[in-house]
Amino acid sequence: MLTKDLSVTFCGVKFPNPFCLSSSPVGNCYDMCAKAYDSGWGGIVFKTIGFFIANEVSPRFDHLTKEDTGFIGFKNMEQIAEHPLAENLAAIRQLKQDYPDKVLIASIMGENEQQWQDLAKLVEEAGADMIECNFSCPQMTSHAMGSDVGQSPELVEKYCRAVKHGSSLPMLAKMTPNIGDMCEVALAAKRGGADGIATINTVKSITNIDLNRKIGMPVVNGKSSVSGYSGKAVKPIALRFIQQLRTHPDLKDFPISGIGGIETWEDAAEFLLLGAATLQVTTGIMQYGYRIVEDMISGLSHYLNDQGFDSLDEMIGLANHNIVPAEDLDRSYIVYPHINQEKCVGCGRCYISCYDGGHQAMEWNEETRAPHCNTEKCVGCLLCGHVCPVACISLGEITFKPGEKAHAVVL
């Protein structure tokens, strides 16, 4: 297995590789964290601890699936750690003794400035390498905690200052995606002394409704509630926020730990190319186990080798210069679909999608069960290619719109 040096220095702390457990049930005790380290994970964000002890519901999970695949989206009602604070601190202390070369980040959550300051001091004394301030859990039972805080720049700045008064460790502010513009809150965290940003936490959601009982899922004694949504389905949301943060003129050099739907090395590379320097995973581990880090390390190593990169630092943020405002996109041409008739299975999905949901440009021969694109109607949206189950429709001829001058086009 090809392995390149995937080490990265993040907020002054050296990680053996960028792959970390995010603060969640996958890293809530010594035994689980030890197994993750032994499996090759470069760092762990220990499940959020505080003076508040969570009283959890049962059951507490729900999911969305696509046909016969594993779940694409996952809902949870977890709060912070259920174990007493002293037990969590003991686990942090033991993990750093047994795995001194691995990175351990303590996730904390307080209800007021004094609690944030005291928790920061306690986790530093226990041996944590960094602190992550959880300003973003969407299902806390106290309105003084979680994503309610993360939507307030004033509170985020105030609590970051409190953490800095309690500890000298590098500190991350974990952002909520349940907000329109994350930059305002990230700037407040920076003013408060944060050394970087972790984003995103879960998205407020209702995943399913039991149609017979008219109850949301999961059902807790006949009721349900809005809570956090994660997994592959939130990756586009996470990537958008990371791009927004990385390209803000006052945040462009502010370190980012990327979270949200990372399951493969390809996912990891996308986050890195948009500006994340470390990567956090939970839902992928819940589906496939800690072992997925082996494939992510191997795949990312091959990618770096194939691209000619000597280190992760060389690729971080490289894709952002190709993400431009919508008004700057080239609108001078149309790309018509090319249909590989030999590969086509005659299912008709392209015809149905175009006729009922596009521009009625895809024509259909009932006898041969073959589609044909009418370029006089086609606008080049390529909906047909996205619904084709056998990938027989690809980008085809480029035609420039009337009055437009032909030029080189990158597809």
Q: Which residues are marked as active site?
A: 137
CA atoms within 13 A on the CB side of 241: 29
Q: Is the dihedral of CA 16, 253, 185, 321 positive or negative?
A: negative
Identify any residues that bridge with 348 across adjacent strands, giving them in sequence order.
Answer: none
Omega cis (within 30) before 200: yes
Whether the CB-CB separation of 321 and 43 falls below 8 Å is answered with no
User: What does DSSP say about strands 103-108 and 278-281: parallel, antiparallel, or unpaired?
Assistant: unpaired
Whether the CB-CB separation of 179 and 201 falls below 8 Å is answered with no
**Can you tell me the distance from the alpha carbon of 369 to that of 31, in angstroms, rounded to the nearest whole number?**
58
- Where does 275-334 have alpha helices with state H? 283-288, 292-307
**Can you tell me the distance from the alpha carbon of 271 to that of 235, in angstroms, rounded to the nearest whole number?**
9
Whether the CB-CB separation of 200 and 234 falls below 8 Å is answered with yes
**Can you tell me the distance from the alpha carbon of 411 to that of 405, in angstroms, rounded to the nearest whole number?**
17
**Can you tell me the distance from the alpha carbon of 207 to that of 216, in angstroms, rounded to the nearest whole number?**
8
